């Protein structure tokens, strides 16, 4: 079987990473590559690392250009996916890397993104309890945000063990902010500096983390989330903590059990700690847990590549699930280090 | 008045930064520069940025070499300061950048560092309530750790406003780990990667943060502290949070009041967030506060340069206080950016 | 004497660095701070490291705003300085950080920048033979480009010793490109990557290097110049080479002699090599020379901070010279390292 | 066919990269993994990115441990390979990532490395004229040095067009220096700084570049080579130049012809310039050429990943050639960017 795919938003980081991964996927043929303002320019001008596609020119992102493919990956600005998807047939698999269809609560959408919610799609985090089944055979998939991916996987197995008030401080590389031309994203500003943003629960990924954990916990979870920007292109390291209900609970066993059969989520052996360098370019999640007995608190540290498992890797993983391919096809747990 | 100073541990990062600052201090004459294994080699081999001292050769760190100076800065491995200090006269100001004399509780010392406690000295964080007076005229000063400096200043004004369980995740540049030749500190390992260490309350700065906050709060404070290593040479950005006792408390006013007269601690105007780049090389602390109403939690973000205000800047500030010089002499609030 | 200064282009990197240095200059009072598109916004939004100026708001860059100061620093886009300068009185010292008045040959200006040349001003590289005298008492100064500064100082003492064909490959941090919002300057693009630009003699600094060397050599010098962009905010390391006329010439002696009395240019002791980290934030130039006997070639390596000695430090040094202040006032040879 | 391989030096950067690539090679089974001082420790402690090998423990590097494999990769300190190789059967393919067997001239070996030369092996740069045939069916291969790889490929097609005096300034990431625990390789020293080393023809890769070019040119070539260390883990960008014999020669055509059929060497379309980010993790070489008419000089810029095409990628490519597998198996021209 060869699947013909298209990528909308192929000049951005998410679109570029989808293509990087699909160039190594044995069952995929790369069709239309589209963009907004960059339409008409060679892909190589934006993705100089995708040499096998060096002869491609970006087309305009329209439903006409995208239709006729088996799978369409959307890597568009928030709020743009619904309209395009509505014009693609129900038999086309649409994998949305944007936020449009992640939240289930229309009020939450309106509060955090503004406007009318376009409705939720199957949520592309197969490692959450029960989630994988929703994705098999799906024809619409909402790829999770990068912070919600790492935070939810770090905390989900603890939901029965801790008080439902969690703190997440996640340090991220800059590619999570995309290619937007903002002064604070310039190399001169980023290198040699650390900054926090969206402090006080102001980041749009907060309700998505809360939604995921609430589903696992079976009730509302208070999430204090702070993202920090650090000088590296890729990677998120999340430090997540919560008060233990029972200080003697075997938290390690809970995590071992939760992820024993997961191909991409790895609880590291004791004494080893996650680093984002070790997962660079890979679809792996590295986790480690600790109990701080002085304050009776569980601390979980988790690392992902925000562009891979945090976006494009998840998108490919979900494509595999939706199409009935082996879930790990074209994906790797081997990072590019150092 | 010209003060003659010596620096023990002049080939390391803390010692080098003390010298960098003192080269701009109008009242100081630089005397003996000593080292351990590097004794006998030119200072320039270790501190190529200290051109005015390019003709200096490192002497061996002994009490004999250090005596006869008005001020001796100790930047030695933990556990080495007490012996040296005992042999320096009581009229010599000894400023210890190490941990030996920070903790007041001998049991805490034994648990976290091991062995017999050498006793506590006046603690060099003048911005903590009541602390400045202890430092005026002192002849022994314990310079705080870098993480305790930023964390304590970030949380002290909140002690009356929050539940006494605080979470601190502090992201640090690599110079905080010193010049130790460890594989995980190699440039190839550090660049492009993030890692957590001392997770679960295992970092030695945890009891020092707790000690500071307890003194302000008037009772024990539970501190969950996680340090994260990021790819930059200098800077710490701490994200500190705690549950508010009263969600309507005017936390901003509390911080404004606490630091209104402090020359080095700056609550930024609303809408501005601290970055470590902005305090690089300076003695400034930049703070911002936010209240997350969804989870009723105060979040404070603070930035320092770990080598400056976090170590050597504090050492110079304390020297000024101890000697009766203007507290800000030789120190700046202007960072080197970008 | 207190000198009242203004800075046009205060929201950019060059303007910010002029201000950083002048905040430490004992004879200066900071007056008007102006900008183009950023006029009306607080300086702190653009220069978060300049805390002592945190209450300043940027005014619009006009001759009216700038007049009435003793010194006006222009850090404007190329081609904008002449018009402003023409409206400032002849007794006002105008220090232009832009390129407008560096080249002496109108044809060269037209070829490299385009349009009518506004005329040359005294060239602000006092360490070139004979140049210092031109700057004493001057009321117009053209601050050199960053690459020409480091390349000219690296090669000038060799002009009698080598064939007049030189190769310069200079690796630079990103701040040299300014705050322009270009995709290739985003942190995600810059970090973890190296790129060359202006290859084949296409960079505008090429004729400026050639002009400087020709003046020293007394005849035309062929300059092959390639700039490389590397992942750091500040610093230029130039590798310069040329064929020796006489393989036995004592090149080290020539460099020692050339810079023996220069406060900012340092030929390092043998065995030490320049690093840009060692000159970060300082006005120092670090040099080292080697002779490759196999190919009979002189190789000179030189390091500067492109924003300091490469731009703003030179501007302050020239102001000192022009006003008759000690040349080193407010400037340092101590870098901020690590 | 499944090839059973062993890696000696599996805890270092070269060995780790060989393993990373071989984990994606369809015809390979990974056997013994050996180390020197790190023998006995888990591979994961040194290579945390190689999750599929997380259960492996490093054995000691001895001929006994290595024998019985179809292919043995040696990633050992210089001077260690000959002894091991002598004890492995002639039917075992030995791919040496070290320098021992690269130079053909025993006198050159003695001058640059010291001691008795162990003899030269087929040189693993198949893109050099005539070289590929030497590698087919070979049972001993000397993998080129990283600088010689990029420099030789950048200059080989120009050998008939330029005077035989070339200048190479190559900027490298830090992994090229390996995991040696040296102060100048610490993250704190490397980040935010640039440094030159081995200046004046002192780097051991100089004779290897000269040997390669001489073979192509049919006579001696004078090589002025300077390596520069920059703050990134991986990547080399080389700027190579030489005087053109005929300023009107069609150099672009020469490069197009030289590499038209090469799967890994890419002359970029005009207007595009190589970046190391674009080849990160890949086996690609990106090239661009320019002619500086002012000085009649050819300038070639080339980018590789020093660990991939510069070491381990070349090693795998040579294994494929030696074993008669398709040359590109397990290798990619797609970089991991940003």
Phi, psi of A44 (to 5 degrees): -60, -25
Predicted confidence (pLDDT) per residue in D232-281, tens digit: 999 999 999 999 999 899 999 999 999 999 999 999 999 999 999 999 99
Q: Where are the beta strands (DSSP E) in chain A?
A: 3-8, 28-35, 59-60, 71-74, 93-96, 140-142, 162-172, 195-196, 222-229, 236-244, 265-267, 285-292, 297-304
Note whether A183 and A191 are within 8 A (CB). Answer: no
What is the rounded average pLDDT for all residues in chain D? 97
Which tokens go with A293?
Answer: 């007995």
Asked if the model's pLDDT at residue D294 lies above 90, the reply is yes
All residues of chain D having their beta carbon less than 8 Å from the beta carbon of residue A192 are: 191-192
Chain C positions in Cβ-Cβ contact with residue D224 (cut-off 8 Å) = 167, 241, 292, 295, 297, 299
Torsion angle of C-alpha atoms B246, B250, B255, B257, degrees rounded to 10: -120
Q: Select which of A97, A146, A240, A318 is catalytic.
A: A146
Among A14, A35, A186, A280, pick the best mutation site for testing chain C contact (most C Cβ within 10 A): A186
Give mean pLDDT, residues B30-54.
97
pLDDT above 90: percentage of residues in chain B: 97
pLDDT for C128 equals 98
- Residue A45 Rama label (left phi>0; alpha psi -120 to 50; beta): alpha
Helix (H) or strand (E) holding B300: strand B297-304
Average pLDDT over every residue of B261-279:
97
Centroid of chain to Cα B128: 13
Q: Could you give the residue ranges of the DSSP H alpha helices within B235-312? A: 251-259
Task: Decide: helix, strand or coil at residue A37.
Answer: coil
What share of chain A in percent tops pLDDT 90? 97
**Structure token pair of residue A229:** 């920007």
Please, what are the domains in chain B? 3-144+310-323 (3.40.50.720), 147-304 (3.30.360.10)
Average the pLDDT over C130-153 and give the result. 98
Are A336 and D49 a contacting pair at CB < 8 A? yes
Is the predicted pLDDT of residue D1 greater than 90, yes or no? no
Q: What are the structure tokens assigned to B7, written together?
A: 């620096």
- The rounded distance, in Å, linking the Cα atoms of A125 and B100 is 49
At D20, which helix (H) or strand (E)? helix D13-22
**pLDDT one-digit tens code per residue, C290-312:** 999 999 999 999 999 999 999 99
Q: Do C334 and B269 touch (CB under 8 A)?
A: no
Confidence grade of residue C277 (pLDDT, cut at 50, 70, 90) = very high
Instruction: Pick the closest to residue B312 from B102, B9, B14 (CA basis).
Output: B14
Q: Are residues C48 and B282, on separate chains, in Cβ contact within 8 Å? A: no
Could you tell me which residue, D201 or A287, shows the higher pLDDT?
A287
Which has the closest alpha carbon to D267: D157, D166, D143? D157
CA C204-C208-C212 angle, 5° bins: 165
- Token digits of residue D120: 């030269």
Neighbours of C, requiring at least 3 CB pairs below 8 Å, are A, B, D
How far apart are the C-alpha atoms of A277 and A242, rounded to whole Å? 26
Interface pTM, i.e. ipTM: 0.97
Task: Say what percent of chain D tops pLDDT 70.
Answer: 100
DSSP string, C70-103: SEEEE---TT-HHHHHHTS-TTSEEEE-SSTTT-
pLDDT at A277: 98
Interface-testing mutation among B41, B47, B49, B186, with chain D (most D C-beta atoms within 10 A): B186
Q: Report the pLDDT value the prediction gives residue D53, as an integer from 0 to 100.
A: 98
pLDDT value of position D278? 98
The predicted structure's pLDDT at residue D289: 98
A146 as an active site residue: the answer is yes
CB contact under 8 A, D224 and C197: no
Question: In chain D, what percentage of residues exceed pLDDT 90?
Answer: 97
3-state DSSP call for residue D74? strand
Is the previous residue joined to C338 through a cis bond, with omega within 30 degrees of 0?
yes
**Predicted TM-score (pTM) of this structure:** 0.98
Q: What is the pLDDT of residue C237?
A: 98
Q: Is the pLDDT of residue C168 over 90?
A: yes
Asked if B227 and A239 count as a contact pair (C-beta separation under 8 A), the reply is no
Closest CA to A145 of A205, A206, A82: A205
Q: Which residues of C touch D232 (CB under 8 A)?
A: 191-194, 230-231
The torsion angle over the Cα atoms of residues C291, C295, C296 and C301, rounded to 10 degrees, is -30
Q: Which residues of C are catalytic?
A: 146
Contact B284 C233 (CB under 8 A): no
pLDDT on residue A79: 87
pLDDT digits (tens, 9 = 90+) for B190-233: 999 999 999 999 999 999 999 999 999 999 999 999 999 999 99
If pLDDT is split at 50, 70 and 90, which confidence band does D133 have?
Answer: very high
- CA atoms within a 13 Å half-sphere pointing along the CA-CB vector of D39: 13
Whether D37 contacts chain B with CB within 8 A: no
Distance from CA of C125 to the nearest CA of D (A): 23
Q: What is the mean pLDDT of each run of 10 residues along chain A (338 residues)?
A: 96 98 98 97 98 97 96 94 92 97 96 93 97 98 98 98 98 96 96 95 95 98 98 98 94 98 98 97 98 97 98 98 98 98
D311: pLDDT confidence band, cut at 50, 70 and 90? Answer: very high
Contact B237, B171 (CB under 8 A): yes
Question: Tell me, what's the pLDDT at B247?
Answer: 86
- Write out residues 175-194 of B within 8 Å (CB-CB) of A: 188-189, 191-194
Tell which of A154, A158, A164, A167 to mutate to test the B interface (max B CBs under 10 Å): A167
Q: For residue D221, give both structure tokens.
A: 């070539």
Residue with tokens 């040699």: A192
Contacts of D174 in chain B (CB under 8 A): 186-188, 191
Instruction: Give per-residue pLDDT as tens, C211-248.
Output: 999 999 999 999 999 999 999 999 999 999 999 999 89
Task: Determine, for residues C202 and D169 on separate chains, whether the beta-carbon distance falls below 8 Å.
Answer: no
Averaged over C153-159, what is the pLDDT?
A: 98
Read off the pLDDT band of B93 (50, 70, 90). very high
């Amino acid at each position: 079987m060869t699947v013909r795919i298209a990528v909308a938003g192929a000049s951005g980081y998410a679109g570029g990473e989808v293509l990087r991964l699909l160039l190594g996927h044995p069952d995929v043929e790369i069709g239309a590559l589209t963009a907004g303002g960059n339409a008409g320019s060679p892909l190589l001008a934006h993705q100089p690392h995708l040499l096998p596609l060096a002869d491609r020119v970006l087309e305009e992102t329209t439903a006409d250009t995208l239709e006729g493919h088996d799978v369409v990956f959307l890597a568009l600005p928030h709020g743009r996916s619904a309209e395009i998807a509505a014009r693609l047939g129900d038999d086309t698999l649409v994998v949305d890397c944007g936020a449009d269809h992640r939240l289930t609560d229309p009020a939450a959408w309106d509060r955090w993104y503004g406007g009318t919610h376009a409705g939720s799609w199957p949520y592309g985090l197969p490692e959450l309890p029960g989630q994988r089944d929703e994705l098999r055979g799906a024809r619409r998939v909402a790829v999770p945000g990068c912070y919600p991916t790492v935070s939810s996987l770090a905390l989900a197995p603890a939901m029965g063990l801790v008080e439902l008030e969690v703190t997440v401080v996640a340090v991220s590389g800059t590619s999570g902010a995309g290619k937007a031309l903002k002064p604070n994203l310039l190399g001169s500003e980023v290198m040699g500096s650390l900054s926090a943003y969206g402090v006080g629960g102001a980041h749009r990924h907060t309700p998505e983390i809360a939604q995921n954990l609430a589903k696992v916990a079976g009730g509302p979870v208070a999430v204090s989330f702070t993202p920090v920007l650090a000088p590296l292109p890729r990677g998120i390291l999340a430090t997540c903590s919560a008060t233990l209900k029972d200080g003697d609970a075997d938290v390690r066993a809970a995590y071992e059990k939760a992820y024993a059969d997961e191909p991409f989520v790895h609880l590291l052996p004791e004494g080893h700690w996650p680093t984002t360098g070790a997962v660079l370019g890979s679809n792996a999640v590295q986790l480690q847990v600790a109990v701080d007995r002085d304050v009776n608190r569980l601390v979980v540290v988790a690392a992902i590549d925000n562009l891979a498992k945090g976006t494009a890797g998840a998108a490919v993983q979900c494509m595999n699930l939706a199409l009935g391919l082996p879930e790990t096809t074209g994906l790797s747990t081997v990072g590019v280090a150092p």
